[in-house]
Amino acid sequence: MPMYSEKVMDHFMHPRNVGTIENADGVGEVGNPVCGDMMTFYIKVNDGRLDDVKFQTFGCGAAIAVSSMVSEMAMGKTLDEATAITNRAVAEELEGLPTNKLHCSNLGADALHKAIENYRAKHAAQTAGGARND
């Protein structure tokens, strides 16, 4: 069994921000067909900041811990700050992950980034849709 840091174990045993957000402003879903991990992130944006971040993860302990940590790291951040969260930063914040589990940290950051992209795409469409051609 791989050795996990106490921080990884804490986030696995007591994950933060689990769940969904009804009428989320952005949703991002990623999966790794090799290991079977699936992550979905939901975000609520208020005044350009992540007001709420929730996730649902189907996967190993590392994937759950990563999702929990990413949600905590992103909460309250601006969209640009949250987009700057990298897989390396997530792994470092968790005090390391076993080499064979590093791909999980990619998934967490990717799912968050996809949720932000989804929000920005919806927002751009609403703004464009509201433009008048007169």
- Both structure tokens of 90: 């997530």
Of the residues 104, 111, 112, 116, only one is catalytic, namely 104
Please tell me the distance from the alpha carbon of residue 62 to that of residue 129, in angstroms, as a whole number.
Answer: 41
- The DSSP string of 49-116 is EEEEEEEEEES-HHHHHHHHHHHHHHTT-BHHHHHT--HHHHHHHTT---GGGHHHHHHHHHHHHHHH
Q: Pick the catalytic residue: 35, 60, 89, 102?
A: 35
Helices 61-74 and 102-129: angle between axes, nearest 10 degrees: 40
Q: Does the active-site annotation cover 60?
A: no
The sign of the CA dihedral 92, 77, 50, 83 is: negative
Active site residue 35: yes
- Which residue in this structure is represented by tokens 């992103």? 74
The catalytic residues are 35, 104
